[in-house]
Chain A
Amino acid sequence: QKEVEQDPGPLSVPEGAIVSLNCTYSNSAFQYFMWYRQYSRKGPELLMYTYSSGNKEDGRFTAQVDKSSKYISLFIRDSQPSDSATYLCAMSAARTLTFGKGTMLLVSP
């Protein structure tokens, strides 16, 4: 079993839809959980950062962590064409991050 599993997509939705992106992991030592957004031909940029279980909201984005199930999610409300990108989950136990493979999201007008 890989340390971090993420469905590569692509996930296609119409503008205004609610999007759910997910990752599962196997390493119980992971304590910090992040979501990065990567536009085509650009470097990843941090979108959400959470520590421990629970929810964190920032505008249209909500990050959810369930450490008991080793499952994290990113919800995007009222999705926009500008949200079209690859979303990478990442998690950390110490000095380095382990990334998922990324989910490509396409939001059509």
Chain B
Amino acid sequence: NAGVTQTPKFRILKIGQSMTLQCTQDMNHNYMYWYRQDPGMGLKLIYYSVGAGITDKGEVPNGYNVSRSTTEDFPLRLELAAPSQTSVYFCASTWGGRDEKLFFGSGTQLSVL
């Protein structure tokens, strides 16, 4: 049972490049989330999904896009990378409803130069 798997673990992008951060979970969780974590700033919610085909914006969605075609996968897309998107990105999942016990992936460290 792998839990929540994120790839890649590290990536360096040039300004204006695009990339997709991958996230997959094998726990059959309905809810999935993308957070970014900047030093000393806690976790900020980017996007979340309550099930396949349903996504919604979080606190800091600008510059990102998501899709949820299957229960297992929730990729995060950066279209035009900017230095402000340098951060550590975490994907998380949970059963949903009143159960907010999030399971987190190990993170993707992204630098935009």
Chain A residues near B (Cβ < 8 Å): 6, 8, 32, 34, 36, 41-46, 49, 88, 90, 92, 95-97, 99-102
Interface secondary structure of A, over-half rule: strand
Contacts of B48 in A (CB 8 A): 95-96
Min CB–CB distance A91 → chain B (angstroms): 9
Contacts of A95 in B (CB 8 A): 31, 48, 50, 96
> B45-92: which residues lie under 8 A (CB-CB) from chain A?
45, 48, 50, 58, 90, 92
Contact between chains at B107 and A42 (CB < 8 Å)? yes
What 18 new A-B contacts, CB under 8 Å, besides A96-B45, A101-B41? A32-B98, A36-B102, A43-B104, A43-B106, A43-B107, A44-B43, A44-B104, A46-B101, A46-B102, A95-B31, A95-B48, A96-B48, A97-B45, A97-B100, A97-B102, A100-B42, A101-B40, A102-B42
Contact between chains at B104 and A45 (CB < 8 Å)? yes
Contacts of B50 in A (CB 8 A): 95
With both beta carbons as reference points, the residue of chain B lying nearest to A93 in the complex is identified as: B100
